[in-house]
Amino acid sequence: MKDPESLVLDENCIPRRVLEIFCVKWTSMVLHAIHLHGGCCRTGVLQRTLPGISKKMLTQTLREMERDGMIARKVYPVVPPMVEYSLTPLGQLFIEPIEMLYAWGEEHADALKKITRRRKASASKRNLDGKADAKTQK
């Protein structure tokens, strides 16, 4: 505090690394979803649990998480194909903080709503402002 300049949060600091893991793509949501499904579930189920995620993004996210060692992929040699993803011990490590964060969100849903509302307000305002020329009119 005496020397603000000595406080540096560089690329390798813990906070940034944590964010790189929790905030990349759908990682957190996928972990959460698998957890809610009892620690193991199929691709299709995941996709329906996370409406809005595209097949491509889901596959990509799952691949990366597998590589990271957070989930395990098990293929059953049946037809039609069946693939199950489950949390590894490493993956389970992340459940606690994630659930903590979401629990905090539940408790403070009012604060979250407030922010959402402000964002929407400023978004619609932006439409009334200067955009009535280039794009909107088309």
Partner DNA sequence: CAGGATCCCGGAGGATACTG
Partner DNA sequence: CAGTATCCTCCGGGATCCTG
Q: Does 62 bind DNA (CB under 7 A)?
A: yes
- For residues 19 and 49, give the distance between their C-alpha atoms in angstroms, rounded to a whole number: 23
CB of 55 to its own copies, least distance (A): 17
Task: Find the part of the chain contacting DNA (CB under 7 A) among 14-22, 41-49, 91-99, 121-129.
Answer: 41-49
Task: Single out the residue of 52, 48, 71 nearest to residue 61, CA to CA.
Answer: 71
The residue whose two tokens read 């979803």 is 33
Q: What does the CA dihedral 52, 114, 105, 84 come to, rounded to 10 degrees? A: 0
Contacts with its own copies by CB under 8 A lie at 1, 4-5, 7-11, 14-19, 21-23, 28-29, 32-33, 36-38, 41, 45, 48-52, 67-70, 90, 93, 96-97, 100-102, 104-106, 108-109, 111-112, 114-116, 118-119, 122
Contacts with DNA by CB under 7 A lie at 25, 42-45, 47, 53-57, 59, 62-63, 73, 75, 80-83
